[in-house]
Chains A and B, each alone.
Chain A
Amino acid sequence: MRMRAIYPALVGLLLGTLQTGLYFQLTFTLSSGFGTYLMVTLCWLTGSMIGVLWLARQRISTLAVLLLASCAYILCCLLLLLMPFNTTLVPLYAVLIVLVGLYPGVFFARSAALYQVGVLFFRENNGFIIGLALGTVLYMLVGRPALWFLPLLLIACLSVSGRLSDRLLPSVSAP
């Protein structure tokens, strides 16, 4: 029961750190231009829409979607580290952010059956706020390692509890 109570907040924490991580790394090592903000926002929203409307109805576990999002985030970080300011990679970054955005969509669609929607969004959003603040402050204190390892730590936490989370969140919702 306790896991069920904190699970949305933990997901929110992860989403807050992922968004902070993507935004800071892309603006610092690709471009600080408005286009980067637009790419992050629109691609995240697109991924979430695909996740909530389509992917959540497919026979794929929530854990698998989380791992897909994790791989996309890690690849994004690696490319930015190895090939900074490489504008030709923008379309790839856009696709990777869409993949990251799939996870929140799937999460919300499948969690709706388990939580009151107001409670679900309230807890997730509170976690998101903490993730946003923590990601920003830790970045200022320890640099990019905070943006790499904090999300990975949270992904590990959510993955370790994967069986539990998949029991909590059915892998296929009603068509």
Chain B
Amino acid sequence: MIETALQQKAAVRPAARRSALSPLLVVFCAGINLILMQWILVRELTALLLGTELVTLLVSVAYFAGLSVGYKLSARIRRSWLPALALITLALHLTLPVWFRLLVIGLSSSGAYWAAFILLPLATALLVPAFYSVFLPLLVENDSTALPRVYALELLGSACGVIGLIVLGGVSVQAVYVLYALGAIGILLTLKAAWRWVIFAGLISIIWLLVFPTANLWSNTLWYRQMARLPDGTTTLFTGYSPYQKVDVLETPTGARYLFLDGLEHFGGSDGTRLNVAMGDIPASLIEPANALVVGAGSMQMAALIADHAGLVTTVEIDPMVVAASEQYFDAFNRMSTLTNRRVVIDDAKHYVANSSETYDLVAMDIPAAYSLQTATLYSAPFYGAIAQHLNPDGILVANLTSTFSPNSLTSRRIAASLLANFKEVMVYTPASAGWSFALASNHLTVDRDRLATALQASGEAQFAIYETSAVRAIVGNAAPITLDSMDIVLQTSARWIADRWRGGS
């Protein structure tokens, strides 16, 4: 009975090549490739649209909408079209990172970056998962009792895809694409495509996968030159998809190095260094911590600046790819190869802090702004509360308010409110060179206004503002702390970010 639609329809093509492969293999391969493409697509598209929580949601919705497109089209797809569609899909998917980037570059350079928020999700829905979701309905269209076996095989394929990502995801995008190409060729074989087409697909895949690293770096560099306004001659030193995000390291002709996470600049130029001085070097020089913790790695320059004044500095970072990229490409900034009072722990900071018994004199937050829910939890009152329990009596938490602290900045006020919910004293300072405001929070703050001002001046800071706890409380006003149950700040930030891109072109 399972010799269903595909075989029956194949029977009307006497010239078609016979195959010993079960048509069920097609849903198994489809399950694998759906997971692999989701992995690549989510990371690439999130970076291209400058990842925020709403972008991640938009990408996910577009991907699942593509499945619906496939289910809808399955009744209209002819068996004879499938091999050709498989070849087109293979070509589109293998080249997806490159042509998606070129499309965005074209839109941005013509002042229409906003259109990427429409075109890319549309392209995703129509061109990415749709092809693979036609098979399941097609295979059981004449025999509904076959559904359990067919559906279970697709689920098994998806599970194998996930396992494939565990094995290959950390190796390279190219390695993931090798598995993907094998899945697509498996589908071609099952569809009984002519051997010449199978061989053609195999050869084209091999050639492209050999060329892919060069094309990947080239298109990545072009994209960053256009979107991040990096100068001509900039090169991509590293690009990769981690389990969490897209990680890119670029270098300008003058030797300046930039770290981008999901398309957003995390470290680069003098601004990045000034931020690390303000949040790392200055607090550490004031309290000389015996034991310090840095939450988040980034360029790891902040940890190095703290290490100059500390006994031991621990960096806790969830993404091993960020640590590896930082060690390899930012050694001039983080001195990982020479500093001996450093260690890195790969873990989710919330989980690490909750399960650690260590206490610290200084905890510094080196994390991206709260554009996503995951990072927003690291700005929440419960997380600051967990850190407070791991601070020594005179210990200090250094937090980034991710904007200039003022009555008009809801984000900075809410982060400060989260700190005030856990600490008796919160001192906010805004060095002009870094642009953003930072906070020293403690239950027994040993750093006063004068010492902080002296340290800021000694670091070369000419202009700055300092707010003591009473002033901070006044500016925070009725702003509510960020908690796991009040993440509306992420929605607002994400919506504003997209609206700015929509209006501003790029």
Contact = CB atoms under 8 A, between A and B. Distances in A.
Interface of A: 24, 27-34, 37-38, 41-42, 45-46, 48-49, 52-53, 56, 84-85, 87, 105, 108-109, 112-113, 116-119, 121-122, 125-126, 128-129, 132-133, 136-137, 139-145, 174
B156 A42 contact: no
A53 B155 CA distance: 11
B373 A140 contact: yes
Contacts of A136: 53, 57
Contact of A31 (B137, B144, B152, B348): B348
Contacts of A29: 484
B71 A139 contact: no
Given A85-B350, A85-B354, A118-B74, A45 B159 contact: yes
B71 A122 contact: yes
Contacts of B486: 143
Contacts of A56: 148
B484 A140 contact: no
10 smallest CB-CB distances across A and B, nearest first, come from A143-B485, A118-B137, A85-B354, A112-B147, A34-B243, A122-B71, A31-B351, A140-B491, A112-B144, A32-B348
Contacts, number: 138
Contact of B487 (A42, A53, A112, A143): A143
A48 B148 CA distance: 10
B166 interface: yes
Contacts of A49: 152, 155-156, 159
Contact of B348 (A24, A33, A137): A33
B374 A48 contact: no
B interface, size bucket: 35 or more
Nearest to B242: A34
A122 B68 contact: yes
Given A122-B72, A141-B488, A30 B144 contact: no
Contacts of B377: 28, 32
A117 B61 contact: no
Secondary structure at the B interface, as helix, strand, loop or mixed, is helix
Nearest to B73: A118
B68 A126 contact: yes
Contacts of B158: 41, 45
Q: Which of A24, A125, A132 has most B Cβ within 10 Å?
A: A125
Interface in B45-75: 53, 57, 60-61, 64-65, 67-68, 71-72, 74-75
Contact of B141 (A117, A132, A143, A174): A117
B29 to A, nearest CB: 16
B318 A33 contact: yes
A52 B158 CA distance: 15
8 contacts: A28-B350, A33-B318, A41-B158, A42-B162, A85-B351, A117-B136, A122-B68, A125-B67
Given A33-B318, A38-B166, 7 more contacts: A31-B347, A49-B152, A53-B148, A87-B351, A116-B141, A129-B61, A129-B65
